[in-house]
Structure 1
């Protein structure tokens, strides 16, 4: 009898050891390789490791334009071992993606892309933003989609950790930093891309300042202007020299070339044909300044513009859809990331 018990214990030990050995070889496989339906997951399940790449849609739009699709797809390809989370206000309380919306269904089919409703009343709980959110009159805020997005990204990264990206950012190589801000120019930070570990004090302080100095009539007051003034409270910023990033306590302040090699004043260059295209060797991602694009310039197949070639390289499935749409044979083959 004793020998049988010992044998069973040995079998159990070997079985457990085998599982842990496999997980040690592929630490992310425990999450990504289990055949759990995405519809059964909630944000906390997916974001628990603090490694998510987060996108937000704060309008009710449920049909993302090609640039948004490219942003999400490029991140999914660039970070195959990290969850890519797209929060959409228009989903309401529904976690089931409507199959009648091909773009969303195709994004959800990517193995590391997850779509969730953006529920601000829940998100802002246990943060300094909740009292402000409950009192603000959104109908009087002409820039509410942008203001609410500024608030959401702070709360989201503070609560869960990870990287936030605007939906007009194309990822071209992995970002090697955990706690970082992106300089738009010398001594001025953007908030279009930022990354922090969970519960960083800097983000909490930003949320406090967001409420205390709230002024929705000043463009960017709750966005890049807030981030910049809070960073300047921590450190004395200087002009960048060569390609050297700056350090402010535990925050990396990354050179403008990392994300903004083409400044907002020259945003149209993304939609022009270049004699010799830049290699962007010093960049991690490219911000295409969609807010500046009031002329509604689009990526046109066969145009050979810089934007078209970026789509071809970094979001080929989205580009393939553009080609099929131009040919009148629309399909959305986004079910692979390789």
Structure 2
């Protein structure tokens, strides 16, 4: 009896230690919290189901600002059974932050079970794709829009290789996208590349990568991005105008109505940072693109402002709102020189 009791206590202690170890990793580590990417085995496992939600950062920035954090958190919230993988060029296989570092966005995102960070190694990514020869010859320092062009290329290669859904880091998810192979219309007969999804090895994306290289011209804004998607879609389909809120279907690709992701068009992007008399329901939308490239003024939600953006943060990325908006404002108000001592 005593022997059985000792065995039971030992098992409980082992379980408790294991649980404590996991919690410690989640709350105090940076890259140690992440899959062991030294062999890329775990990353391949996560991507292999073809259902990942993918975000990309092609700058060296490693601390996500509030809108990026909101995009990742909202996707994890809407797709709880799917891995949300954030590829960042600023990371490497050996990148670590000290355990006592102040990284609120990473802390809150790392605590979400289905969020994972991964280094973006473009040379390795482009292997076995039409993009490899282009990448090995290009002089990135001479490219005016390199951050954007390299992101355009990376998203094509990742989704072609592994499948899943790509989203820009200024897209807030509000409900699941039901389609497997889709492009998002930004306007009538014009595709965006800010959100798209495909099954692995879809020939449309292979054609996009070939066209990317054949018609490469980085001096034209969007030539490798939305213009590329639109060119290829026109080769595949005979595009028509949208009728009411109906989506279009071409072969096995769905061309989703502009209301699905762009209910507020880019010339009106400031409306996200305004107070609305009647807040829109966005019942026809799967996600909302906040046009951060247009936001040269650096607008961000302010606690208590009742703007549309603040309300979206509160509803769809509450952790980001509490930590990066409310708590950041409270901390700033207590700092010397702010008038609140």
> Under a length normalisation based on structure 1, what TM-score does the superposition of the two structures give?
0.85
Find out whether 1:39 has 2:35 as its counterpart: yes
1:30-76 deviations in whole A, cap 9, x for unaligned? Answer: xxxxxx96332532021110000000000000111100000000000
- Check whether the contact 2:173–2:288 (CA below 8 A) recurs between aligned residues: yes
What is the alpha-carbon distance in structure 1 between the residues aligned to residue 199 and residue 167 of structure 2? 15
What is the alpha-carbon distance in structure 1 between the residues aligned to residue 76 and residue 332 of structure 2? 25
Per the alignment, residue 18 of structure 1 pairs with none
User: What SS does the corresponding residue of 1:247 show, helix, strand or coil?
Assistant: strand
Distance apart, 1:192 and its partner CA: 0.1
2:116 corresponds, among 114, 117, 120, to: 114
- Check whether the contact 1:97–1:105 (CA below 8 A) recurs between aligned residues: no
1:123 corresponds, among 122, 125, 143, to: 125
- Check whether the contact 2:245–2:257 (CA below 8 A) recurs between aligned residues: yes
Find out whether 1:75 has 2:75 as its counterpart: yes
Per the alignment, residue 29 of structure 2 pairs with none
Per the alignment, residue 86 of structure 2 pairs with 86
- Check whether the contact 1:171–1:285 (CA below 8 A) recurs between aligned residues: yes
- Check whether the contact 2:171–2:289 (CA below 8 A) recurs between aligned residues: yes
Find out whether 1:51 has 2:54 as its counterpart: no
CA 1:315/1:131 → structure 2, altered by over 3 Å: closer, same or farther? same
**Structure 2: segments with no counterpart, 5+ residues:** 1-31, 334-341
Find out whether 1:160 has 2:162 as its counterpart: yes
1:276 corresponds, among 268, 275, 278, to: 278
Per the alignment, residue 152 of structure 2 pairs with 150
What is the alpha-carbon distance in structure 1 between the residues aligned to residue 331 and residue 136 of structure 2? 47
Distance apart, 1:95 and its partner CA: 5.9
CA 1:80/1:165 → structure 2, altered by over 3 Å: closer, same or farther? same
User: What SS does the corresponding residue of 1:217 show, helix, strand or coil?
Assistant: coil
Per the alignment, residue 329 of structure 2 pairs with 326
1:234-274 deviations in whole A, cap 9, x for unaligned? Answer: 11111100111000110000000000000001000000000
Distance apart, 1:105 and its partner CA: 3.1
> Under a length normalisation based on structure 2, what TM-score does the superposition of the two structures give?
0.84
1:189-227 deviations in whole A, cap 9, x for unaligned? Answer: 000000000000000000000000000100000000000
Q: When the two structures are aligned, how many residues end up with a matched partner?
A: 295
Distance apart, 1:92 and its partner CA: 2.5
- Check whether the contact 1:95–1:116 (CA below 8 A) recurs between aligned residues: no
CA 1:44/1:253 → structure 2, altered by over 3 Å: closer, same or farther? same
Find out whether 1:239 has 2:241 as its counterpart: yes
User: RMSD in angstroms over aligned alpha carbons?
Assistant: 1.5
Distance apart, 1:94 and its partner CA: 3.0
- Check whether the contact 1:39–1:96 (CA below 8 A) recurs between aligned residues: no
1:70-90 deviations in whole A, cap 9, x for unaligned? Answer: 000000000000000000000
Find out whether 1:304 has 2:306 as its counterpart: yes
What is the alpha-carbon distance in structure 1 between the residues aligned to residue 97 and residue 284 of structure 2? 37
Distance apart, 1:325 and its partner CA: 1.3
1:99-153 deviations in whole A, cap 9, x for unaligned? Answer: 4233223212210000000000110000000000000010110110000000000
What is the alpha-carbon distance in structure 1 between the residues aligned to residue 289 and residue 33 of structure 2? 33
- Check whether the contact 1:87–1:117 (CA below 8 A) recurs between aligned residues: yes
What is the alpha-carbon distance in structure 1 between the residues aligned to residue 330 and residue 97 of structure 2? 27
- Check whether the contact 2:181–2:199 (CA below 8 A) recurs between aligned residues: yes
**Structure 1: segments with no counterpart, 5+ residues:** 1-35, 331-338
